[in-house]
Amino acid sequence: MTELHQKVQNWLNQDPDFETKSELQNLFNQAQSGNTDAEKELAMRFDGRLQFGTAGLRGRLQAGSMGMNRVLVAQAAKGLANYLLVNDKEPSIVIGYDGRKNSKIFAQDTAEIMAGAGVKALLMPRLLPTPVLAYAIRHFDATAGVMVTASHNPPDDNGYKVYLGKNNGGGQIVSPADKEIAQQIDLATQINIDEYARSQNYQILDETVINQYIEKTAKLAIEPKCELNYVYTAMHGVGKEILLKTLQAAHLPLPHIVAEQAEPDPTFHTVAFPNPEEKGALDLAIELAKAQNAEFIIANDPDADRLAVAIPDEQGNWKPLHGNVVGCLLAWYVAQRAKKSGKTGTLACSLVSSPALEQIAQKYGFHNEETLTGFKYIAKVPNLVFGFEEALGYLVDPDKVSDKDGISAVIMFLDLVRSLKATGKTIQQHIADFTQEFGAYASSQISLRVKDLADIPKLMDAFRQNPPTQIGENKIVQSKDYLQGTEPNNILVYALDNGSRLIVRPSGTEPKIKVYLDVKGNDAIDAMRVLEKFDGAVRELLRSEQFGKQDC
């Protein structure tokens, strides 16, 4: 038997999942019968291991060491349990899960393995948003947390997001914890998972922690009551129940709900990608908004840690607001509220987010900090008042959670709208006021989705080995490679002579490279003109021979 076939047989011997075991056995039988396509598929399935990193685990639901499945999750749980036992005399963990396929069984497997290893395990009572899990970690002063979710990834994916609590603050793992946990997982793989100790001696939590999250989040609403006519979509995720309960607790008007996307559905059948940023994802919400003559649309992603907003223009055409726009509007509003209450501290965003945040911080006497990408870094900023990243992530209540929170962000955004209504202004007018106050910034993003993950390092290498000196008519005057920094990160930043900025980085959660464009103009129209020209020049560069003729 070949080494590959031995790996497959060993996997089959320990897989407790009938579906993945049957599918892999069928593939194995075909390969053994001489089917070369089946042999190639097996080789891909076992070509290494789905890597555990600062985003935990995330990948396609399928059998094999390169997929998300019960064997891989059990190994991750065992490795994480061993890590917690090394680092805490009395370790504890809170485990949550969303509505994706296998999320609940992955969470239950984790609870049983944790309890069997001697880690106090607390399992959420049902599928819930990621922010509720993040809150529970701090509420129980747990050593760690796990959220089984693939957030806004395609339907066939799932993931395993790890948090560290107590002295680590309750946020997502950062280096070196990711490497140390990965080492423990590697050791755990040397034993078949059916040899791991398991126990039913874990606690299923009641509604108390959920109700406390709702109660604390509802207190964010402080503006005068008024009518609001708006639409909400849960994007087939888990946001609706907790959001509606929070709105009721805050005495806020309830939205018109997109019925087709209201309940958890692991097939996400109405959208190509369950991500509010993706083209077409808000089509049903826009249709309902037009029918109800709504003022705006809000959307959560499937695990409800992100918020998207859409508004109509003067011609009645609906468009989503860029994450930088929503982030800066919330930052402005939070800074005003914090200033009134005598609060001091820091406004923070990831380096791929809008540079306009620095202007807001300066105006209101706050510190400003730019972090590496991801809320694992933003949430760790000392004395944080507000944090955001352009990918629709906002932390409006750092005293409650150490991660982006799409439910709290909805409440704060609705309060912002109520404050505008008190002065007779619309969201559109407020955006114009922002430009007058802080300058005309504009941002966009180009996503290069790949079929082969090997294409990602190839493109990043192309930028490093033959760096561009000019984009369109503008010269690059400064560049920075974050792989050369004290905390190496695969990010490239280019500053142009007209003040524009280009950032290139691989996505931490999806098979794609993200290209970020930021510009500043004399006014809103000029900024959009500069951005459009910059976007065209960047796409032309990416389509060149130098960068592999990218399809963009």
List active site positions: 151
CA distances from 16 to 11, 26, 107, 157, 192 (A): 10, 16, 15, 19, 11
> Can you say whether residue 392 is alpha, beta or left, with left for phi > 0 and alpha for psi between -120 and 50 degrees?
left
CA distances from 143 to 140, 153, 184 (A): 9, 27, 17
Strands 440-449, 230-233: pairing kind: unpaired
First and final CA of the chain: distance in angstroms? Answer: 44
CA distances from 417 to 131, 201, 329, 411, 528 (A): 23, 47, 10, 10, 25
Measured distance CA(39)–CA(4) in Å, rounded: 9
Task: State the helix-helix crossing angle for 356-364 and 323-340, rounded to 10 degrees.
Answer: 10
| Residue 360: φ, ψ to 5° | -65, -45
Could you tell me the two tokens for 478? 């400064």
Spatial CA neighbour of 496 closest among 448, 537, 447: 537
Could you tell me the two tokens for 87? 């680092």
Measured distance CA(232)–CA(497) in Å, rounded: 42
Measured distance CA(508)–CA(262) in Å, rounded: 28
* Cβ–Cβ < 8 Å for 72, 105: no
DSSP letters, 412-461, are HHHHHHHHHHHTT--HHHHHHHHHHHH-EEEEEEEEEE-SSTTHHHHHHH
DSSP letters, 376-424, are HHHTTSTTEEEEEETTTEEES-TTT-SS--HHHHHHHHHHHHHHHHHTT
Bridge partners (DSSP) listed for residue 53: 56
| Residue 256 amino acid letter | H
Task: State the helix-helix crossing angle for 130-139 and 208-218, rounded to 10 degrees.
Answer: 100
With residues binned 3-state (H G I as helix, E B as strand, rest as coil), the percentages for the chain, rounded to 5, are 40, 20, 40
Spatial CA neighbour of 306 closest among 279, 274, 265, 268: 274
